[in-house]
A and B are shown apart, each in its own frame.
Chain A
């Protein structure tokens, strides 16, 4: 059992009153000092094995976002590191766009 920072579930049959059973379509984890290895290594493997279609890793310190997308062989495929002024889109949510300037703007 994991508690992702954010998740998007498109198959409502996976939802019950306790939460979600099965892999969400999109999982977003926000890195913070101290939990880096946990997020990147352990959870990464769990998400890949369980078939999470897309996994976003957000670095608040570096102000960057990285996207893993599950390919046909059920392996996570890495995106480039997105940074300020760039926009990320999602294969799971067609048409959705997120500007990194808006995510990291005025955080202090």
Chain B
């Protein structure tokens, strides 16, 4: 009898435990379901990210995400896709950059255009100017912006008037293809491509139908002029002489 009671009690307890276990199971399944539920895009941007490796490069990101990336690596966004920039530009790259930007700054003193050099974010909004609606953010080597309403404390929003990229030896697909397409699509009026290896500068000018027109390739002994900055002249000898 005692044995039976004990058994009975145990059996009752066991049933309660079974119920508890069952409830736990359902709960766990629910948690699991919630965890696996796709997180809506807009919820992602609040999370700070400390390591570039923590970012899934197969996904697309907005400027709102970009602002929460606290790592040192420099990246750019093109239509939401992440592009790594070279860790540090070479000394020659920087020397060329200064030799082009200083004459630009001097020429544009007391005029309405401003000159900026990397690191400087240019956002290319496709409609809405909200951070989470912007999917292309680039850092041109040098840019000139004549419409001051495009400037805010974070950088430039909208197409600069002139963008200058300095190629590095090797793969230049980003500058010559992806960024080229963005600059053309968003209406950058003039795009200069500087080749340090070939000591030349090629200029693209936006034509009336919004397409880049390659205008000329400038080389040593020649002087570069710009349709965006009338009167400005830059001797290529001054840019490329004595680089080493």
Contacts and interface: CB of A to CB of B under 8 A. Distances in A.
Contacts of B202: 66, 78, 81
A63 B169 CA distance: 8
A85 B178 CA distance: 11
B172 A63 contact: yes
A61 B198 contact: yes
Contacts, number: 69
Interface in B216-237: 216-217, 219-222
B145 interface: no
A91 interface: no
B197 A81 contact: no
A33 interface: yes
Contacts of A84: 171-173, 177
B15 to A, nearest CB: 67
B214 A80 contact: yes
Contacts of A62: 167, 169-170, 172, 195, 197-198
A61 to B, nearest CB: 3
B100 interface: no
A89 B167 CA distance: 24
Nearest to B211: A80
Nearest to B202: A81
Interface stretch (A1-9, A36-44, A46-54): A36-44
Interface residues of A, number: 21
Most buried by B among A40, A64, A78, A81: A81
B36 to A, nearest CB: 36
A78 B217 CA distance: 8
B176 interface: yes
Contacts of B177: 83-86
Contacts of A70: none
A61 B171 CA distance: 9
Contacts of A64: 172, 176
B157 interface: no
A71 interface: no
A31 B167 CA distance: 15
Interface string B160-198: 000000010111110011001000000000000101011
A90 interface: no
B135 interface: no
B195 A59 contact: yes
Given A81-B202, A83-B177, A61 B169 contact: yes
A36 B199 contact: yes
A89 B173 CA distance: 18
Contacts of B221: 37, 41
A99 interface: no
Interface string A9-49: 00000000000000000000001010011001100000000
A57 B29 CA distance: 64
A106 to B, nearest CB: 13
Contacts of A36: 198-200, 219-220
Per CB-CB distance, the 5 closest pairs between chain A and chain B, nearest first, are A61-B197, A83-B176, A78-B214, A40-B219, A61-B169
Contact of A80 (B172, B180, B216): B180
